Amino acid sequence: MTTVGRPLSSLRIRRGVIGILARGSRLLLIRRAEGVARPGCWCFPGGHVEPGETSRRALRREITEELGIDTLPTVRVGSVRLPESGYVLAVWRVQHIRGELSPRAAEIAEIRWATPAQIRTIVPGLPSNDRVLEMLGL
């Protein structure tokens, strides 16, 4: 059986997470490094959920691995479905607990604090950025 030209077995849903860290009215964005999916694109930090892992635990792990800080996911805002890639991304507000931001160069080329208006104009940005801002009411 197929759906839109793809076998049903290929429609596996992949789980991911997005973390929203705020400083006043500015939100943390990362620019993806060369060698990772969608290199050079600006997006919110996050990553994959491993088998058996909760989205909260995955987000803490991903942010620690990528940014070198300890965080606490506080409120799950919702989720963003990306049908083109098969991902469903859980979106969380995240509190910075401790540590200095130290992006891992293998995954992150640059970080930036930006207002929602700035995020909407950053090129190249992932399509999920606008969906997340809408979900946040920004």
Domain ranges of the chain: 13-128
User: What does pTM read for this prediction?
Assistant: 0.87
CATH number of 13-128: 3.90.79.10
- Given a cut of 80, whether residue 8 has pLDDT beyond it is no
For residue 97, the tally of other CB atoms under 10 A from its CB is: 10
For position 35, what pLDDT does the model report? Answer: 87
- Given a cut of 50, whether residue 1 has pLDDT beyond it is no
For position 38, what pLDDT does the model report? Answer: 86
pLDDT exceeding 90 applies to what percent of the chain?
80
- 71 in Cβ contact with 93 (< 8 Å): no
CA–CA gap between residue 64 and residue 80 (Å, rounded): 22
- 21-51 pLDDT, tens digit per residue, is 999 999 999 999 998 888 999 999 999 999 9
Residue type, 5: G
